[in-house]
Structure 1
Amino acid sequence: MIDPIILQRGSDWRAQAEVFDEIFFVFLALGTLVGTIVVAYTLWNVYKYRDDGGEPREDFDAPTVGELPTGQGGPKAKKLFLSFGLSAIVVISLVVYAYGLLLYVEEGPDANEESDIEILVTGYQFGWEYEYPNGHTTRGELVVPADHRVNLDVTSTDVWHNFGSSELRIKSDAIPGETSEVWFAVSSETVEEQGGEATYRVECFELCGQGHSAMKGQITALPQDEWEEWYESTGGDSENSSNVEGGVSVDDTASVSHAAVGGVPA
């Protein structure tokens, strides 16, 4: 099991995107290394034991089709079981390593009621509505703070949808009458790298009707202080609900662009 301390350092959690990128890099690097060694060793044996047209040596122990080249404990057996042993060590190590990281992605970092944010995500034909803890709702755009675990409760009002963001490596079914859960986090370093406001595309990954291809949205991550200023301005008043461009309404008309307060969507 991977030590949770490796995955979360205080409140600096590892986002799913970072975890999946690391798994991909490790598998790619190790696969390239092992593949290079195997191919190089195979080519060396092809050259060493090539047919040069001469008579085979008397001590040459040719392999027999359908039989393991054990050689009764000779060099062939050592090479065979050595390769099996090394392969088993590599595969088992990768399984344990990846399983520990995937458990972290599944369960998420330790919950913290003071800093965690829980948002209700409701899919409809054809868009997304987000309801914040104070009752404020937005359509099309989800605004979250950096360095916080954001818990999403995902559901639907009509048909099956699937809420997801490829960049954040999150996906969750949106089923009428049921609620599925998913979490994500965006680091402040990532927000700074994107100029103080990190944006991620949201899509529906379940064919849900004629407007499915237009059922898009956006996740915007802001620095903590800017998000708090934006959140306080919402006041929990349902009349402050805002819409951003993205998604199609029931009558297939595009949603209007959102208003902005001090450059921050409200």
Structure 2
Amino acid sequence: MIWVPLVTSIFLASGLGGLIPGGTRANVFERIFVVFLILGTLVGVVVITYMLYNAYKYRDQPSRAKSDAKDRPRLGELPTGGGGGRKLFVSFFLSSIIVLSLITWTYGTLLFVEAGDVPQEDELEIKVTGFQFGWKFEYPNGHTTSGELRIPEDQRIRLVATSEDVFHSFGVPGLRVKMDAIPGQETTQWVIGDEPGSYQALCYELCGVGHSYMAADIIVMERGAFDDWYENTTANETANQTVTA
């Protein structure tokens, strides 16, 4: 989509680039979670503190009985002492600024994630194919593996998913990536493994009796180790013939 990188460029040019988190998808979504958690906690503390303050200030006391009876408004009389709605206006104004700022920041952050779907020169494109009940991965050189995907660290990986039979959903919680695998269609998504390690990919679409066993290992390798492994692969090679890192 043309508008995604265009709007993202507008955000960056307007000086919001420093506020928009970058890096891997995991970093982006963790930043969104932290921001919402902090703001939600602050709002909760303010509301509960103000509630307890008013509960204590206006608690029932014998000394308040006469003053309350004296200041109680009569039928048809408007109460006074409200400040002419200034408190309501200020609270509404501040709340609007916070909410609009949060919406704008979140929208800009999600645009950064969507802009990653646009192909880049230095990325590695891997085709992901779901079938009952497993996953196949095809590299640019034609090398195909089943049940195991190896990717280099700190490099953008472009995943192109499809399915051979029914609807599947390819998801790797540890890398914060999830995409549909639909027969006859291709779904794209990007991911970056920021440190070597092993992650598990699962199917998140009920696809048959073997759905719960539909898993794959995602191995993030150091760049040099991955290059050595990839140079020793050939087209139409199966997962059992891969070289162990």
Normalised by the shorter chain, which TM-score bucket? 0.7 to 0.9
CA deviations over 1:147-173 (Å, ceiling 9, x no partner): 111001100000110111111111111
* 1:16 equivalent among 19, 25, 31: 25
Q: How far apart in 2 are the matches of 1:6 and 1:94?
A: 11
Tell me what 1:233 maps to: 232
User: How much does 1:48 deviate?
Assistant: 0.8
Tell me what 2:55 maps to: 46
Tell me what 1:136 maps to: 143
Tell me what 1:31 maps to: 40
Tell me what 1:206 maps to: 205
Corresponding position: 1:56 with 2:55: no
The amino acid of 1:96's aligned partner reads T
Larger fraction in helix: 2
**8 Å CA contact 1:137, 1:241 repeated in 2:** yes
Question: Unaligned stretches of 5+ in structure 1?
Answer: 192-197, 243-257
Q: How far apart in 2 are the matches of 1:38 and 1:213?
A: 44
**8 Å CA contact 1:70, 1:76 repeated in 2:** no
Tell me what 1:160 maps to: 167
User: How much does 1:226 deviate?
Assistant: 0.8
* 1:82 equivalent among 61, 85, 90: 90
User: How much does 1:49 deviate?
Assistant: 1.5
Q: How far apart in 2 are the matches of 1:87 and 1:6?
A: 20
The amino acid of 1:29's aligned partner reads I
TM-score (ref. length: structure 1): 0.78
The amino acid of 1:78's aligned partner reads R
- Check 1:119–1:71 CA distance in 2 against 1; reply closer, same or farther (3 A cut): farther
**8 Å CA contact 1:163, 1:204 repeated in 2:** yes
Q: How far apart in 2 are the matches of 1:161 and 1:210?
A: 13
- Check 1:5–1:46 CA distance in 2 against 1; reply closer, same or farther (3 A cut): closer
The amino acid of 2:44's aligned partner reads G
Tell me what 1:252 maps to: none
Q: How far apart in 1 are the matches of 2:118 and 2:182?
A: 27
The amino acid of 2:34's aligned partner reads F
The amino acid of 2:155's aligned partner reads H
Q: Secondary structure at the match of 2:198?
A: strand
- Check 1:71–1:107 CA distance in 2 against 1; reply closer, same or farther (3 A cut): farther
TM-score (ref. length: structure 2): 0.84
Q: How far apart in 2 are the matches of 1:149 and 1:35?
A: 39
**8 Å CA contact 1:70, 1:80 repeated in 2:** no
Q: Secondary structure at the match of 2:120?
A: coil
Q: Secondary structure at the match of 2:206?
A: coil
**8 Å CA contact 2:170, 2:180 repeated in 1:** yes
The amino acid of 1:218's aligned partner reads D
RMSD in angstroms over aligned alpha carbons? 2.4
CA deviations over 1:30-59 (Å, ceiling 9, x no partner): 111121011101110111112224223478
Q: Secondary structure at the match of 1:167?
A: helix
Task: Tell me the matched-pair count.
Answer: 227
Percent identity between the two aligned chains: 44
- Check 1:138–1:98 CA distance in 2 against 1; reply closer, same or farther (3 A cut): same
Q: How far apart in 2 are the matches of 1:70 and 1:216?
A: 66
